[in-house]
Structure 1
Amino acid sequence: MTFSIVGYDPKEKEWGIAVQSKFLGVGSVVPFAIAGVGAVATQSYANTTYGPKAMELFGQGLSAEDVIEKLTAEDPDRALRQVGVIDASGRPASFTGEGCYDWAGGKTGEHYAAQGNILVDENTVEAMATTFEKTEGTLANRLLQALLAGQHAGGDSRGQQSAAILVVKEKGGYGGFNDRYIDLRVDDHPTPIEELIRIYDLQQLYFAPSSPDRVEAWTDFREELNKHLEVLGYLDHTKTTEQALRDYHHTENFEMREQKPGFVDLDVYEYMKTQVTRAK
């Protein structure tokens, strides 16, 4: 009762999985990935040992096809399994056991493997594949748009419940301390993919690097900025604008987008203005 897509970005060296299911907390079961090694989506009576085992096999130099062959050959319940993998070089492979409930199947292409089971029909997998191939932008955006297209094409025949996205990148995690570049889950929601995309947009606002063309000197709009900081409770007679803005960044978790003195990220500033509107 799950459909997923595993993908790779050769330019940014990112590996990722996006998944939706009529299943509580699918993000705790299906996706597994390690930067520089590969990514796995295990589903349909998921065998959660497939993720760690695949990483070990990738480390031995096996290709995506070889890894799936070895994983399933050693599994007595392989007829019930479905799995998609991407290896360190971005080579894909997908497997659907003959015991998976209809409609079940998968498709692979350049740097992706799409698969699903208990689907309305094959259009879900086809839509994921086509959308991933045609969509531009980041790996996360391509995976999410592919997942959304799969849902619009039919999706899980039993409905929707949870969705998740995992993207790994060397030193891509918070503070550069791990590889969990994007790790977001919607565990129980009537429209989990749309909710996942909403949370992803917030994640990008908080943690994506500032775009140079979206950074400006706030001295050009100091009066307006001061009013917003006052409404939100960050500026009073005891603080300078710079001190209040620093406190805003650190309290609202925008430290990753904090600029040198005298400058502000305009995306953060636009978000600040929406907070002010809600506060009034």
Structure 2
Amino acid sequence: MTFSIVGRCTETGQLGIAISSSSIAVGARCPWLRAGVGAVASQNITLPALGPQILDELAAGLVAPKAMDRALARNGYSQYRQVAVVDAHGNTALFSGSHALGNHHALAGEQCVAAGNLLADVGVIAAMVAAFECSEGCLAARLMKALQAGQAAGGEAGTVHSAALSVVGDLTWPIVDLRVDWAEKNPIGELEKLWLAYQPQLQDYLTRALDPTLAPRYGVPGDE
């Protein structure tokens, strides 16, 4: 029901996730990120609790595979779960349970992990990893390219309806958190439109938060 890419930028240390699913509002349940700690995609028969629990274990000093294994063991039913992890140092962990749906696959690359289930073809995941590794630009743009590459390689076996893009940097809140909770068709295309609209405003929103005296004008009535 889902395919995702979790990645890290070696230049900035940013961590991010791009994800799409046939289910509604995938961005509300599956991507979990914490600045300076890691990023986790918890999917398939999704247990949202796995994301925060794995991030807690990473924050406590566990390496990515042990953090993931401990959270999976704590909750049981691991045979139904699929998890992808990248920590703040670029270390990775991945897991696909024996009851993962349909064609499923997970693959670690350089500073990234891609994972998916109910795939049109298992080659979707390798295409996502290759796209991430070969792309340039900021992390959010690279994640979008990887998600689009997965879609171009076949994506999910059925129609996807939601998509999300999240990135954390040095701040305690996400610097990118964009979602298409439902689209009858092409939510990844709709997510790309959101990203292209948001990208030129990203730094302005950070400036407004950190030093309002330097903020550009807001473009609303009364903003003199």
Indicate whether the TM-score tops 0.5: yes
User: Structure 1 runs of 4+ off > 3 angstroms?
Assistant: none
Give ranges in structure 2 of 5+ residues lacking alignment. 205-215
Please report the TM-score for the alignment, with normalisation by the length of structure 1: 0.72
Aligned partners of 1:124, 1:153: CA distance in 2, in Å? 5
- Higher relative contact order (CA closer than 8 Å, sequence separation 6+): 2
Identity of aligned residues (%): 37
Which residue is 1:39 aligned to? 39
Residue 147 of structure 2 aligns to a residue whose secondary structure is helix
Q: How does 1:145-224 map to 2 (within 5 A)?
A: 145-171=145-171, 178-189=172-183, 190-208=185-203
Which residue is 1:136 aligned to? 136
TM-fit CA distance, 1:25: 0.6
Residue 251 of structure 1 aligns to a residue whose secondary structure is coil
TM-fit CA distance, 1:10: 2.2
TM-fit CA distance, 1:75: 2.9
Matched residue pairs, number?
A: 210
Residue 42 of structure 1 aligns to a residue whose secondary structure is strand
Q: Deviations over 1:136-183 (max 9, x none)?
A: 111111100000000110111111100001100112xxxxxx431100
Aligned partners of 2:28, 2:21: CA distance in 1, in Å? 12
Residue 180 of structure 1 aligns to a residue whose secondary structure is coil
Q: Deviations over 1:4-29 (max 9, x none)?
A: 01001121110111000001011001
Q: Deviations over 1:175-218 (max 9, x none)?
A: xxx43110000011111111111101111122236xxxxxxxxx
TM-fit CA distance, 1:56: 1.1
Which residue is 1:26 aligned to? 26
Residue 177 of structure 2 aligns to a residue whose secondary structure is strand
Which residue is 2:3 aligned to? 3
Please report the TM-score for the alignment, with normalisation by the length of structure 2: 0.90
Aligned partners of 1:203, 1:113: CA distance in 2, in Å? 25
**RMSD value over aligned CA atoms?**
1.7
Aligned partners of 1:198, 1:160: CA distance in 2, in Å? 17
CA 1:207–1:104: 2 relative to 1, 3 Å: same
Which residue is 2:210 aligned to? none
AA matched with 1:204: Q
Question: Which has the larger helix fraction?
Answer: 1
AA matched with 2:197: L
AA matched with 1:187: D
Which residue is 2:207 aligned to? none
Aligned partners of 2:220, 2:125: CA distance in 1, in Å? 39
Aligned partners of 2:192, 2:61: CA distance in 1, in Å? 35
2:94 matched to 1:94? yes
